[in-house]
Amino acid sequence: MLLIADIDKKFERGARVQVSLRIPDAASVMILFGPSGAGKTTVLRCVAGLEKLTSGKILFDDRDITDIPPQRRPFGYLFQDYALFPHLRVRANICYGLKDRGSIQRIAEMLKVADLLERWPSELSGGQQQRVALARVLVREPRLLLLDEPLSALDAATRDHVRGELARLLRAIGVPAIVVTHDWVDALSLGDQMIVMSGGRALQTGAPHEVFTRPADRDVAAVVGIDTVVAGRVNRREAGLLFMQAGAASLAAADPANGFEDYYICIRAEDVTIERGQAEQSSARNHLRGTIVDIVPSGVLMKVAINVGFELIALVTRQALGDLHLSKGVEVVAAFKASAVHLIPKPGS
Amino acid sequence: MNWEAFFTTLKLALTTSALLIIISLPLSYWIAFSKWRWKFFIEAIVALPLVLPPTVLGFYVLVGMGPQSPIGRWYESLAGHGLPFTFGGLVVASVLYSLPFAVQPMAAAFGSVERKYIEASWMLGVSSLGTFFKVIVPQSWAGVITGVVLSFAHTVGEFGVVLMVGGNIPGVTRTLSIDIYDQVQTLNYSSAASTSVVLLILSFVILSIVYGLNRKVWLLAADRRHRQEV
């Protein structure tokens, strides 16, 4: 293990964060996922040395670094709004704290900031600021990256683009990373492993798409909030639609036009309707035949799991449950629009 | 215009400001960032000269430097003469008297540097001391200069403390403000008036610099924010 962190942090006002974290030596991305106030950033700050542990231990490379100051930990920390020094130009920001100032050219080119070196941070767009901040961190060749909500400071239009770039970069540099996020799209596109946090505790650990599809309990389900996540591959592209293979089923989805072959297919339960009878054919609307495998209450509604070749979750009223005579083992047709399918490029594809 | 008093005043104000930079930078840093629970006592002590009558401060400094006190005796054994009624004694008193004028703007400026910049510097491997000079001070220029200029101006204008500690020795401890007092005592109004006008203009110019400086910094920050939004 590269990092073994057993963190217990009590705050004066009573909040407490207790999490155990294991990061393997191989380059991989660990997601800390949860709502704000879950303690994700606290975990990251404890690993970085910016917060002192109340009790617990942090081992890095089998060395106890619990009481080592942040300056002497070989970590790169990306702050939520990047924290570029406003009184220094981009070049001086990247060189900050470096002894050998000649070595920034390669990093600057890799992150496409070579043309920005003489600018002030205030003259950069959000995406550019993020790249400069990453360059400033990477030029020091950290052994572990700590990214605090790396995309939340960006507007929605920029975010999708930057997210793709960040995913590619994390694969390319091969440095393990811990990424804090509350956005499930970030978690699926960046993460290899994920810890779901709430109220200062880890609720579930696993690969992101597995955690999203199979939350261990109601608490996790409430935190993760999406319902069906399944890996899928593009069969053919046609008229703005992707026809995809997912498990034993095939379905149509709106083409996000980013040219990937492998995606996570995400479908919200409230977008899925259940019908009895024959499956109709229509390219813009998916009709998948399957068997009900589970029915659980979800607030005032009922969550129905249907095996259509993969496990698809639908949300129906109790009224509909009775009207359609739905129960375990019943064969139904699940319908959803192609536009209700959210596609997220699979990490590493 | 008494030029001898003018140069004594200038020398005193420059020496005091220079010493106050050295003392106030670390003290302001400590006040801005220490989490010590009794910190407010130190803050109150630093602020005392703002409210204390100068004669009270002068009295204590005089007694503290005198042959009855250990500090006074120690200095006398070292220098061969006592501190009271010398230029050195006047400098000590002025530093104490102007301390809050230097420390308060600096501490306020240091304290308003956003935490994330300090932590970013640490995460980039730079020590706390390095962070102070590379991040905190450069982002607090207006506060540092304000502190230095205000303490300079305050020293130029002090009267009670100088009279108590320095006496009134021409060429050594007689400053402009005391010179004015002497002129009025001897009914020499025209000389008092010309010196007063010099002090008035000097004070006005200094304060204009301070306010102008803070305004300019404020405008720059607003301008950067504006460009960021566009």
Secondary structure (DSSP) of A63-87: EE-TTS-GGGS-EEEE-TT----TT
Cα–Cα distance, A283 to A253 (Å, whole number) = 9
Evaluate if residue A280 carries a pLDDT over 80: no
Residues of B in Cβ contact (< 8 Å) with A96: 121, 124, 126, 134
pLDDT band at A67 (very low <50, low <70, confident <90, very high): very high
Q: Please determine, for residue B33, whether its predicted confidence score (pLDDT) is greater than 60.
A: yes
Cβ within 8 Å, pair B227-A136: no
Measured CA to CA in angstroms, residue A208 lies from A18, A193, A346, A347, B221 at distances of 21, 6, 11, 11, 42
Q: Which two tokens stand for residue A54?
A: 């109340």
Q: What is the reported pLDDT for B230?
A: 43
The answer, for A87 touching chain B at a CB cutoff of 8 Å, is: yes
Residue B179 pLDDT > 80: yes
CB contact under 8 A, A50 and B121: no
Segment A85-99 mean pLDDT: 92
Instruction: Determine which of A233-237, B21-25, B56-60, B217-221 has the lowest per-residue pLDDT on average.
Output: B217-221
Closest in B117, B119, B126 to A50, CB measured: B119
The confidence score (pLDDT) of residue A180 equals 97
Mean per-residue pLDDT for A197-203? Answer: 92
A181: Cα separation from own chain's centroid: 6
Compute the average pLDDT of residues A123-131: 94
Tell me which of B115, B123, B126, B225 to substitute to probe the interface with A (most A C-beta atoms closer than 10 Å).
B123
pLDDT of B225 reads 53
pLDDT range class, residue B224, cuts 50, 70, 90: low
A16-58 tens-digit pLDDT: 999 999 999 888 999 999 988 899 999 999 999 999 999 999 9
**Cα atoms in the Cβ-side hemisphere of radius 13 Å centred on B167:** 11
Rounded to a whole number of angstroms, the distance from the CA of A64 to the nearest CA of chain B is 18
Which secondary structure element, helix H or strand E, spans residue B101, and what is its range? helix B87-111
Measured CA to CA, the distance from residue A85 to residue B135 in angstroms comes to 8
| Contact: B119, A120; criterion CB under 8 Å | no
B221 pLDDT exceeds 60? no
Q: Do A85 and B125 touch (CB under 8 A)?
A: no
Lowest mean pLDDT among A32-36, A68-72, B209-213: B209-213
Helical segments of chain A, H only: 40-48, 90-95, 104-110, 126-138, 156-173, 184-190, 208-213, 218-224, 318-323
Give the residue from chain B lying closest to A45, CA to CA: B119
Chain A residues whose beta carbon lies within 8 Å of the beta carbon of residue B134: 96
Residue A136 with chain B: CB contacts under 8 Å: 124
CA nearest to B123, candidates A121, A50, A41? A50
Average pLDDT over residues B191-217: 85
Question: What is the Cα A47 distance to its own chain's centre?
Answer: 19
A14 touches chain B (CB under 8 A): no
For A204-228, what is the mean pLDDT? Answer: 80
At residue B229, does pLDDT exceed 70? no
Q: Kindly state whether A69 is in contact with chain B, defined as any CB-CB distance less than 8 angstroms.
A: yes
Chain B residues with CB inside 8 Å of A69's CB? Answer: 122
CA B141 to chain A, closest CA, distance in angstroms equals: 11
Mean pLDDT of A272-298: 82
The residue of A11, A44, A50, A71 whose CB has the most chain B CBs within 10 angstroms, and thus the best one to mutate to test that interface, is: A71
pLDDT at A282 over 80: no
Residue of B124, B140, B226 best to disrupt the A interface, most CBs of A under 10 A: B124
Nearest to B117 among A76, A85, A97 (CB): A85
**Residues on chain B bordering chain A, Cβ-to-Cβ distance under 8 angstroms:** 114, 116-117, 119-127, 130, 134-135, 138-139, 224-225, 227-228
Q: Report whether pLDDT(A182) > 70.
A: yes
The answer to whether A11 contacts chain B (CB < 8 Å) is no
Reported as a single tens digit per residue, the pLDDT across B41-92 is: 999 999 999 999 999 999 998 898 888 888 888 888 888 888 888 898 999 9
Contact A96 B124 (CB under 8 A): yes
> What is the arithmetic mean of pLDDT over A210-222?
77
Taking the whole predicted model, whether its pTM rises above 0.90 is answered as no
Integer angstrom CA distances of residue A71 from A145, B32, B42, B122, B129: 14, 21, 30, 5, 12
- How does residue B206 score in pLDDT terms, banded at 50, 70 and 90? confident
Residue A262 has pLDDT above 80, yes or no: yes
CA-based nearest residue to A21, from A201, A148, A208: A201
| Per-residue confidence (pLDDT) for residue B56, from 0 to 100 | 92
Would the pLDDT of B154 be above 70?
yes
Tell me which chain A residue has its CA closest to the CA of residue B119: A50
Contacts of B139 in chain A (CB under 8 A): 85-87
Nearest CA of chain B to the CA of A294: how many Å?
Answer: 48
Query: By the CB < 8 Å criterion, does A50 face chain B?
Result: yes
Number of neighbouring beta carbons within 10 Å of residue B105:
25
pLDDT value for A281: 64
